[in-house]
Structure 1
Amino acid sequence: MLRKIIHIDMDAFFASVEQRDFPELQGKPVVVGSSSDRGVIAAASYEARKFGVRSAMASKVALRRCPKLIFQKHRFEVYKEVSAQIREIFFEYTDLVEPLSLDEAFLDVTENKKGIDSATQVAREIKQKIFERTQLTASAGVSANKFLAKVASDQRKPNGMYIIRPKDVQAFVEQLPIEKFFGVGKKTAEKMHLLDIHKGKDLLRFDLPRMVHYFGKAGQYFYDIARGIDERPVRPHRERKSVGIENTFGKDLIDEQQIKLEINRLKEGLAKRLSKSGKAGKTLTLKVKFDNFEQITRSKTTEQLISNRLLDELCTDLLAEAPLNRPIRLLGLTVSNFNTEKETDALQLKINFED
């Protein structure tokens, strides 16, 4: 059976919520984040994006690009509430909902609760209901698999919808710039350019062994998506693999006592998040980012679940192992290895915004 997959992506979600709740901001270049020298942009309105302002950009760079930029302090609880409203709409159509973040999700509507045969109609109804209930717009991509639906949702933003029908898949993928392939980051794109790969059609020159040779495990994925193939199912229950907390500091930490004080604060926050999540793990990871943006991590794994007492001991050990002889921009702690799982590349609960 041909699958019917929808990718819903809210348009400039955090910034759009701010513009909705504060009408005086509508039509203006708005960002969510701090305007301090060490601030980072969490989200940018489309008016701000016209100036080249993007999420994850340093605030001082954003201000140079748009001196009239309006900064709004984040309101994560509000964003979570709105996200929950939107997911309620998704579940009216299907239980096969895979959230990627607060503002986007995959839906498998091959068999849906409304009995609607057209995935396009489902996407159109969902977009309309989102607007009616939240006064926010969303963009939708509709196709036969997750890769195609994700790429499609980026084609007509904001407030658009794009359908990639089975008969059009190969032609669409072949003309798609490699930078727009879901899963191709900056470094991978640069490597592909060195191999004279610029569009999807260029990937077709490489057989599977060569793709694996150049890109390792990701080679199989790139080989498949170049042919419009993506067998990954929509997974409604994405189990959390780690719980973490991190903080970017307004001023670099240079003193040992400052570092220990901040680690203690992180430990307290991490303990609260672990308690709230009901999770316990066996691996603790310390993350350090220095003033030159170089980043290191140190981890320790125990045979028993990490208690508060053990958390103190592990932090002391990790601090002793890490070369903390340079100014520190960021510190983070993550507990992972739940239920004997060994993976640590999972959900991070981050604090990246200065109050």
Structure 2
Amino acid sequence: MIRNRTVLEASDEAAWHGVRAGDTVRLARRRCPGLEVQEFRPEDYSDRFDQVWSKVAGFTPMVQTTDLHHGYLDITKDIKRFGDADTMVRSLNEELTKTTGLNINWGGGADKWMAWLARGHNQFITPAMESLVLSKLPIESMALPERVTERLHHFDIHTVAQVMALPSGFLESHLGFDRNFVLKCLTRHKEPVRPSFPPRKIEAHLDIAESDEFARQRVIKEVAREIVTQLTEAAMQTSCLRISYKTRTKKHEIDHRLSHGVLSEERLSKILFDLLPDGIQQSLKSIWVEVLGLLPRQVTQDLLWEKSLTNNTDEQLERTQNKLHTRYGVDSLVSGSTAYARQRPRFAQLVYQSRGLTLP
């Protein structure tokens, strides 16, 4: 699934070949020859989104959707009806398979952070199991950019627990990445599941008290600002707007399909101006806009970590090389033993500490 020549979602087979969200189409095709791509069309997913998550909400109303295909369930109060989490998820999976033909991959834990790390393993991680699981869970589970993952592997750091045990300055001083770039993925998110399905109704309605052109322009801009603000606050997107223009005696209603691109205040204002019929401009009394087909805003990384839409790992790598050249006189990353041999004791010390070892 692509949008603006960028991968939004990859199938399991494509992911196995190394295709990740945020890759360019060109890079994705190089990693996975024969890759089939499909342009993202929100209107095609709105009905299926409602169908699937309505079934999920039938098992527990505490549903927070974070993407088209991903979300969190708070089963604290509803699990008693099923006995345990495994039974509940099996029942949900059977219902979805019967009605939609889909199967679910899931992971559970005491909070969002653990559930997110365990996603796809189809297992509930109890607090007593966390230490063992984190010591076995590969760093790929953190969904970090590929360049970051490669550098961590270079230093023999392969599990989530090893990353958590790194010295606080190691990531920044020797990998060249800001601490928060990786460490924010290790911060336990204790906030509860915030129900977001069904999505709230987003609409705006304003009356026009005066009949002059400036009053119409002002009201149209206010309506556009209100709609865009509500969409932003709800982290939702849309592919269709229902627009209604009213006079004292007439009502003109339009369902307008949106093309790709960001729905900004300026863009929506222009749409509302362009669709306003010439015959009712002077007698216009009110404007009403309703957002149809609401979907979670599609991003290249999980919304939980609030990652940017663009992958800036090339810039990070360049900064890494500059730091290495300035501090150590080299432009490439080296292992701990090589650093020690080159008389870089502080560098080597951090590398060995990350593995729980002492200098030889």
- TM-score, structure 1 as length reference: 0.47
- TM-score, structure 2 as length reference: 0.47
Q: Which has the larger radius of gyration?
A: 2
Query: Could you say which structure has the higher helix fraction?
Result: 2
Query: Could you say which structure has the higher strand fraction?
Result: 1
